[in-house]
Amino acid sequence: MVRACLDALRKLDPRALIRNPVIFVVEVTSLLSSAVLVHDFSRGYRGLIPFEFQVVVWLWFTVIFANFAEAMAEGRGKAQADTLRRTRTETQAKKLAEDGQLQKVPATSLRRGDTVLCEAGDIIPGDGEIVEGVAAVNEAAITGESAPVIREAGGDRSAVTGGTLVISDSIKVQISANPGETFLDRMIALVEGAQRRKTPNEIALTILLVGLTIVFLLAVATLPSFARYAGAGTTVPMLVALFVCLIPTTIGGLLSAIGIAGMDRLVQHNVLAMSGRAVEAAGDVDTLLLDKTGTITLGNRMASEFIPVGGVALELLAETAHLASLADETPEGRSVVTLAKRQFGLRAPQTGQEQPKFVAFSAHTRMSGVDLGSRNIRKGAAEQVIEFARQLGGAVPPELAPITDAIAREGGTPLVVADGPRIVGVIHLKDVVKEGIRERFARLRAMGLRTVMITGDNPLTAQAIARESGVDDFVAEATPETKLKLIRQEQAKGRMVAMIGDGTNDAPALAQADVGIAMNAGTQAAREAGNMVDLDSNPTKVMEVVEIGKQLLMTRGALTTFSIANDIAKYFAIIPAMFMAAYPELSALNVMGLATPESAILSAVIFNALIIVLLIPLSLRGVEYRPVGAARILARNLLVYGLGGIVVPFIGIKLIDLVVAGLGWA
Amino acid sequence: MRTLATALRLTVLLTFLVGIVYPLAVMVAGRVLFAVQARGSLVVRGGKVVGSSLIGQSFTSPRYFHGRPSAAGSGNGYDAANSGASNLAPTNAALVAAVRARLKAVLAENPGVSASQVPIDLVTASASGLDPEISPQAAELQVARVARERRLSPEAVRALVWAHTRPRWLGIFGEPGVNLLTLNLALDRLESGTAAGSDERSHRR
Amino acid sequence: MFWNALAQVGLFSVVLLPVTVVLGRYLARVFSGERTALDPVLRPVERLIYQVSGIDPRSEMTWAEYAVAMLLFQLVGMVFLYLLERVQAFLPLNPQRMAAVPADLAFNTAASFVTNTDWQAYAGETTMSYLTQMAGLTYQNFVSAATGIGVAMAIIRGFVRRSAKTVGNFWYDLVRATLWVELPLSLVLALVLLWQGVPQNLDPYVHATTLEGAHQSIAEGPVASQEAIKYVGTNGGGFFNANSAHPYENPTPLTNLLELLAFVAVSAGLTYTFGLMAGDTRQGWTLFGAMAFIFLVGAAGAIAAEQHGNPLLARLGIDQRASALQCGGNMEGKEVRFGIVQSALFAALTTDVACGGVNAAHDSLMPLGGLVALLNMQLGEVVFGGAGAGIVGMLVMAVLSVFVAGLMVGRTPEYLGKKIESREMKLAMLYVLVFPAVVLLLAAVAGSTASGLASLSNPGPHGFSQFLYAFTSGAANNGSAFGGLNANTPFYNLLIGLDMLVGRYLMIIPALALGGSLGAKRALAPSAGTFPTTGLLFAALLVGVILIVAGLTFFPALSLGPIVEHLALMAGKTFK
């Protein structure tokens, strides 16, 4: 708070303030009226001084309040940046020289392409790709999440971030970013707002605000000529007061605070946007591409049902399947054990005296199981298990095929269980849709987003999952290229596309998408290609991202509307005050019944300054977004900020006038 | 340069087409279809053009129905070669003074008429300065005077007024108006006893 | 009285609806080159014009090429008109032996007619020869409007085309607007006007001997042909000084209605054309609805103000109440045949549509009636507006509305699927800024110079309204006036000439650029989150934005003009 106050004063520097044209203009006019004040004082126009002095003071407050709003918004980021910066300093790296020798060097000396060794307890000295080894890494410095994550060479979880801590094992990391360009550096810059550039929409809005400022400059600058015709005098502080009240200082003062706060809200959700442009684009997204696995479904197929065949008792099937899966450490295998346990309370394996010999799953056999003495229990893909049973002289029960077909049709995977030559039944493996995903999609739909699921499954399976999860559309049998093609197709139809990805082969699609959210756990390539990184690697986070994007634009629009609507009351306060002397009839326009012309003008100026401060919390928090359709949102916001913007200043100025007149200020 | 040449050629062509051919075509059509109107709806009495039924003229004699004040041209107004309004603002003291004077004159000319019987159109200048009409109320308050001056019964005069009153179009649009030139001509005719239409006709050449 | 006023305005508005649809459809056909019933007659003429002028109607132009062609054509027209005025004394068809028009007035008039403003610092019957009226002014009545319609088509194409580089061909649009739209409509209207009493001849002024024996010189001329295009092309420049208050220009209530309908028809029709071209007629109806609402509120306000009459005159005891025998109200500067309703309706609509033809003296309107006229123009001539210019202005306002409102629904604003970004905002703001800038700055100059103030004919706040109105009317390309202002001085001829040129071309060019810029964009598909630019909500928003932008810009000036005049009038004050 104190820091924000100091920053607010520091920001008075016109060279910095020119980035904010509306407030810059206020500063210039404040300077002008200060000069007039000094001039009037030196000439000894004592009668004018108290009024003019107060106007000038409040003009300066207007500038300072606007600066304060920006400083407040930046303050939150600065604190976070300080924490981040601490992790960056003084890291020592163990650099692997060409000859394999280890040398200790400061992290700042590392360059792209260097390889370093990181052992348990080391802080990873820079961004990079694991080239060898696997390790548990604590990424709390970046994500704030202290549970360690696994990072390993090859595959889609090979990227590590400088500043994170290796907890176990050791890895060799090839550095992928020069100092100053690392993820951490970018993050610090981002939260600090140091390199904040105006986003496209912010620029467009600034043009509108500058345009309005010019309109009001014309309206006010031509007034002395008109007033002279009417036989009325105008003074510079009066004109400046009118001008400053009319120009959109409210939104002008809060505009950058809104932008910073929006980025900040993303950071709070552990999402890093590489640019403000991406955040805005998020609000516009029409189509969201989602990988089925890990996003819509839990990612693993789970046993959901045992279906016996050939007159086998259900319990026997469960027991057999249980035995077959005891040593199966795959999620599917474990889910069979869990199901058996749940349905029949099967617990200790009844292996008896014989030593079980487990047969692990292999891509070649596509079966796993156990050999218990003479019993050769197998479970696996239907074709292979049937073949297995046949070879042992078994027969295939006629009802088997319809059952496996039915399961496949529903999107499940049938696992056939055989006890030697005898096929005992089928395990229904099912893709389990994440809890609450249906509701999330419904909300996305209400927000105007279309969700498209992408899966490598066959169309039947895909359709079943789509139906269950409530996704709007799906693409089955997708290859990595499918995503890119689909994004291009959607874009050609005029839709803005967001996609979430983690793998290296997602990179082109992430780059092509209007909003590409890379999972932090993903590969470096993916992180580079996307324009946002989700530090939590939580694919459903996209909803918050979209909402924050929308909130950002809504807050700007709402405050712009409010700011412009305010002018009506200000006119009714100031115009009669300025010309009442020449045309007493104009007092009919003094609908607020303000005490004196001076108090009317002063009250309008004070209201104009204070409203900036009062709206800082709203601009930092953002206007609430509800997915109820554009027309209803608009109607509501027009009512609140349009109509409210007309009414509020009438009340506010009147109240201030009561105080000003009561205190005898004017 | 090519564009400029195109612009020049097109200007010449279109000027000929819509600046010469089109007005002349309308003129020919007018002469054939609406000969009287095309010439300005002129009214002839005794071989002389006495005016246009569409254009107001000044009447000051108490024997005639008087028209509205006119600001057309200088002097007494009704300059049909220089149309125009007074352009006085409602808050202009000169307007109030002028209306006050006109009211006084109307009341003096029409004894027995009170200010509240004087319709606004009779004391205000028209937009063209050539308004050929007055409101029925403005005619009504002059009936007694004209009848007296011409020694006619007020009923006869009133009937003539109604005969020269143009109603609203379709009974809805615009306002009814009494055409003064045709009314006053009819009055003259009524007095001299000449048959209607015998020596008055619209002007043709 | 109330019911009659309602019937007069209501029936007129109802008739406007089918006119909008029929003409809107026809315009769409004409400019897309589809077959029309008039083709057998007009196609050969069109071909001939292209051949002689060396035009390839099929070659498309970028917005910049379009602008250059338009500007050059206008420049040629302006020079041509100026020269014609200067040498008219030596040319035929000048039975009244009109002298050469002075240079400053000739410049002002040339600027006025090419910009479709038709501001008249002269009285037609005492200044212009018949040849100048026909080949100069009637011609410009045609092509200045055709230019406006063409520009509108180019800009609409920009709004609805996708990823396109071009916006059409100026020559093609110009010729088609003239031949297919203006010429047939004008011919029909001219004949009806003739029938109702509008003259069409080349006679010298008639010498009449009035019933009382006085001499009356009656001005004549080729009035009907010019009167027709004056309205079809939203020009508004009268053949005579009194404009459509003159019985020769507007002899009956029927002609008054037809003239009203004629000058709003093309502008209203273009809203429907826009809807058709955008592939959703509701888009057009929404703009139409916003326009109609502002028009009706303004007309109602003007009628009420005028019907209420002048309290200063009521004090004299004069009867200003409407009855079966008189219309009452403020009849200063109005004609009996039109009464209050047709005059106030005309005043409102002629200022809504940048027409400027008048059937009453605006200077003598009640302060609130004058306020409606003045404010209507200050809205930027977007309420139907000038031929072509109106829909363009409305589209710019739609872009502005969409920008602020679009933000409020949490999306990058888009109109017809085109994103409104900084380039579009820049052009839209440029368009919006030009008008208040030129009006206020020139009015400020007039207000602080002796030559500016010397021309005023009314005292007090109304005098201020007079020159404010003049510059507003000029920049809005309206052309109506508070006629008491002596505008035929070098000061006003020059300033208002400039005013009109700036108000026309410095607005058309950014608008064309905006069309070009939007045309180059790909269109986004609408979704549930897209804020709909059709329907009541958007129309209401549009109305709000239009009123607020103009209101905020001009409120200080208006408060020193008509507003304070009204308050003074209510307080029983006069000015000397």
Task: Judge whether C246 and C209 are in contact, CB under 8 Å.
Answer: no
C210:B130 CB<8 A: no
Whole-number pLDDT of residue B199:
45
To 10 degrees, what angle do helices A437-446 and A542-579 make?
30
Is the pLDDT at A351 greater than 60, yes or no? no
Distances (CA, A) of A73 to A24, A624, C476: 19, 18, 44
- Which of C360, C299, C301, C306 lies closest to C328 in space, CA to CA? C306
Task: Judge whether C208 and B90 are in contact, CB under 8 Å.
Answer: no
User: CA–CA separation, C102 vs C400, rounded Å?
Assistant: 43
User: What average pLDDT does this structure show over B165-194?
Assistant: 91
In this structure, are strands C206-209 and C215-218 parallel, antiparallel, or unpaired? antiparallel
Is the pLDDT at A353 greater than 60, yes or no? no
Task: Judge whether A303 and A428 are in contact, CB under 8 Å.
Answer: yes
What residue type is A133 in one-letter code? G
Q: Catalytic annotation on A291? A: yes
Quickly tell me which residue has 């008896």 as its tokens: A352
Beta bridge partners of A297: A293, A433
Q: For chain C, what is the mean pLDDT?
A: 95
Q: For chain B, what is the mean pLDDT?
A: 92
The pair of structure tokens assigned to A99 is 């000859």
Q: Where is pLDDT greater, at A135 or C547?
A: C547
For a pLDDT cut of 90, what percent of chain A falls above it? 27
For the segment A153-203, what is each residue's pLDDT rounded down to a tens digit?
877 677 888 878 888 888 888 888 887 777 777 777 776 765 567 888 889
Q: Where is average pLDDT lowest: A109-118, A132-141, B12-21, C439-448?
A: A132-141
- Is the four-CA dihedral A417, A421, A424, A426 of positive or negative sign? positive
In this structure, are strands A149-152 and A134-138 parallel, antiparallel, or unpaired? antiparallel
Q: Which chain C residues are Cβ-neighbours of B123 within 8 angstroms?
A: 313, 318
Mutation target vs C (from B79, B87, B205; most C CBs, 10 A cutoff): B87
What residue type is C270 in one-letter code? L
For C39, residues 6+ apart whose C-beta sits below 8 A from its C-beta are none
User: What average pLDDT does this structure show over C81-90?
Assistant: 97
Is the pLDDT at A490 greater than 70, yes or no? yes
Q: Which stretch of DSSP H or E encloses residue C519?
A: helix C490-519
For a pLDDT cut of 70, what percent of chain A falls above it? 94
User: CA–CA separation, A498 vs A516, rounded Å?
Assistant: 6
In this structure, are strands A92-96 and A115-119 parallel, antiparallel, or unpaired? antiparallel
User: CA–CA separation, C231 vs C250, rounded Å?
Assistant: 11
In this structure, are strands A170-175 and A115-119 parallel, antiparallel, or unpaired? antiparallel
Burial of residue A658 (CB within 10 Å: 0-12, 13-18, 19+) is middle
User: What average pLDDT does this structure show over C238-259?
Assistant: 96
For C541, residues 6+ apart whose C-beta sits below 8 A from its C-beta are A634, A638, C401, C405
Whole-number pLDDT of residue B2:
87
Q: Which chain A residues are Cβ-neighbours of C417 within 8 angstroms?
A: 494
Q: Which of C138, C316, C342 sits opposite B100 (nearest CB)?
A: C316
User: What average pLDDT does this structure show over A207-213?
Assistant: 95
Is the pLDDT at C413 greater than 80, yes or no? yes
Is the pLDDT at A144 greater than 80, yes or no? no
SS3 A352: coil
Question: What is the pLDDT confidence band of residue A206, given thresholds at 50, 70 and 90?
Answer: very high
Is the pLDDT at A291 greater than 90, yes or no? no
Beta bridge partners of A572: none
Which A residues in the span 263-282 are in contact with C, Cβ-Cβ below 8 Å? 280-281
Task: Judge whether C207 and B49 are in contact, CB under 8 Å.
Answer: yes
C69:B3 CB<8 A: yes
User: What average pLDDT does this structure show over B15-28?
Assistant: 96
Within 10 angstroms of residue A584's Cβ, the number of other Cβ atoms is 15
Is the pLDDT at A354 greater than 70, yes or no? no
Q: Which of A223, A565, A568 sits opposite C556 (nearest CB)?
A: A223
The residue extents of the domains of chain C are 283-315+327-570
- Is the four-CA dihedral B180, B185, B191, B197 of positive or negative sign? negative
User: CA–CA separation, C410 vs C407, rounded Å?
Assistant: 5
The pair of structure tokens assigned to C318 is 């004069």
User: CA–CA separation, A270 vs A512, rounded Å?
Assistant: 23
SS3 A106: strand
For the segment A25-50, what is each residue's pLDDT rounded down to a tens digit?
999 999 999 999 999 888 887 777 88
Within 10 angstroms of residue C301's Cβ, the number of other Cβ atoms is 17
User: What average pLDDT does this structure show over C181-201?
Assistant: 97
For a pLDDT cut of 70, what percent of chain B falls above it? 94
User: CA–CA separation, C455 vs A396, rounded Å?
Assistant: 111
User: What average pLDDT does this structure show over B126-153?
Assistant: 96
Question: What is the pLDDT confidence band of residue A6, given thresholds at 50, 70 and 90?
Answer: confident
Q: Where is average pLDDT lowest: A242-251, A479-488, B187-196?
A: B187-196
Q: Where is average pLDDT lowest: A322-336, C231-245, C528-542?
A: A322-336
Beta bridge partners of A417: A379, A425
What DSSP line would sit under A596-641, residue for residue?
Answer: -HHHHHHHHHHHHHHHHHHHHHHHHH------S-HHHHHHHHIIII
For the segment C258-283, what is each residue's pLDDT rounded down to a tens digit?
999 999 999 999 999 999 999 999 99
- Which of A574, A602, A657, A598 lies closest to A55 in space, CA to CA? A602
Q: Which stretch of DSSP H or E encloses residue C374?
A: helix C367-378
Is the pLDDT at A348 greater than 70, yes or no? no
Is the pLDDT at A151 greater than 90, yes or no? no
- Which of A205, A256, B50 lies closest to C412 in space, CA to CA? A205
Whole-number pLDDT of residue A17:
86
- DSSP character at residue A159: E
- Taking one residue from A and the other from C, the number of pairs with CB-CB distance under 8 angstroms is 217
Is the pLDDT at C546 greater than 90, yes or no? yes
Task: Judge whether A12 and A234 are in contact, CB under 8 Å.
Answer: no
Whole-number pLDDT of residue C1:
78
Question: What is the pLDDT confidence band of residue B195, given thresholds at 50, 70 and 90?
Answer: very low
Is the pLDDT at B110 greater than 90, yes or no? yes
SS3 C222: strand
Beta strands per DSSP E along A141-258: 149-152, 159-160, 165-168, 170-175
Is the pLDDT at A600 greater than 70, yes or no? yes
Burial of residue A57 (CB within 10 Å: 0-12, 13-18, 19+) is middle
- φ/ψ of A330, rounded to 5, equals -70, 155
The pair of structure tokens assigned to A151 is 């990072």
- Is the four-CA dihedral C375, C378, C384, C386 of positive or negative sign? positive
Candidate list A40, A122, A127, A291, residue with the active-site label: A291
What residue type is C253 in one-letter code? P
Distances (CA, A) of B167 to B128, B176, C258: 21, 4, 18
The pair of structure tokens assigned to C31 is 């400019």
- Is the four-CA dihedral A614, A620, A626, A629 of positive or negative sign? positive
Q: Which chain C residues are Cβ-neighbours of B185 within 8 angstroms?
A: 211
CA A104 to chain centroid: 38
CA distance C443 to chain B (A): 19
For the segment C113-160, what is each residue's pLDDT rounded down to a tens digit?
999 999 999 999 999 999 999 999 999 999 999 999 999 999 999 999
User: CA–CA separation, B68 vs A253, rounded Å?
Assistant: 61
Question: What is the pLDDT confidence band of residue A91, given thresholds at 50, 70 and 90?
Answer: confident
Whole-number pLDDT of residue A629:
80
Whole-number pLDDT of residue A347:
66
User: CA–CA separation, B57 vs B66, rounded Å?
Assistant: 9
SS3 B34: coil
Task: Judge whether A119 and A96 are in contact, CB under 8 Å.
Answer: no
CA distance B169 to chain C (A): 6
Task: Judge whether A625 and A554 are in contact, CB under 8 Å.
Answer: yes
- Which of A159, A173, A166 lies closest to A120 in space, CA to CA? A166
Q: Which of C408, C551, C555 sits opposite A558 (nearest CB)?
A: C408
The pair of structure tokens assigned to C464 is 């201020």
Q: Where is pLDDT greater, at C509 or A294?
A: C509
Question: What is the pLDDT confidence band of residue A126, given thresholds at 50, 70 and 90?
Answer: confident
User: CA–CA separation, C225 vs A224, rounded Å?
Assistant: 46
Beta bridge partners of A475: A454
Is the pLDDT at A75 greater than 70, yes or no? yes
- φ/ψ of A451, rounded to 5, equals -105, 135
Is the pLDDT at A446 greater than 90, yes or no? no
What residue type is B62 in one-letter code? P
Mutation target vs C (from B76, B83, B168, B169; most C CBs, 10 A cutoff): B83
For the segment A562-590, what is each residue's pLDDT rounded down to a tens digit?
999 999 999 999 999 999 989 999 999 99
Q: For chain A, what is the mean pLDDT?
A: 85
Q: Which chain C residues are Cβ-neighbours of B127 within 8 angstroms?
A: 242, 245, 333-335, 343, 358-361, 364
What strands, in cross-sheet order, belong to the sheet with A497-501? Answer: A271-273, A532-534, A515-519, A497-501, A287-291, A450-454, A473-475
Q: Which chain C residues are Cβ-neighbours of B95 within 8 angstroms?
A: 310, 312, 332, 364
User: CA–CA separation, B37 vs C195, rounded Å?
Assistant: 7
The pair of structure tokens assigned to A102 is 């280890």
User: CA–CA separation, A479 vs A473, rounded Å?
Assistant: 17
The pair of structure tokens assigned to A170 is 């050791």
Question: What is the pLDDT confidence band of residue B196, given thresholds at 50, 70 and 90?
Answer: very low
Task: Judge whether A501 and A521 are in contact, CB under 8 Å.
Answer: no
Question: What is the pLDDT confidence band of residue C542, given thresholds at 50, 70 and 90?
Answer: very high
- DSSP character at residue A431: E
Q: Which of A216, A561, A583 sits opposite C408 (nearest CB)?
A: A561
CA distance A499 to chain C (A): 18
What residue type is A452 in one-letter code? V
Q: Which of C201, C330, C483 sits opposite B85 (nearest CB)?
A: C483
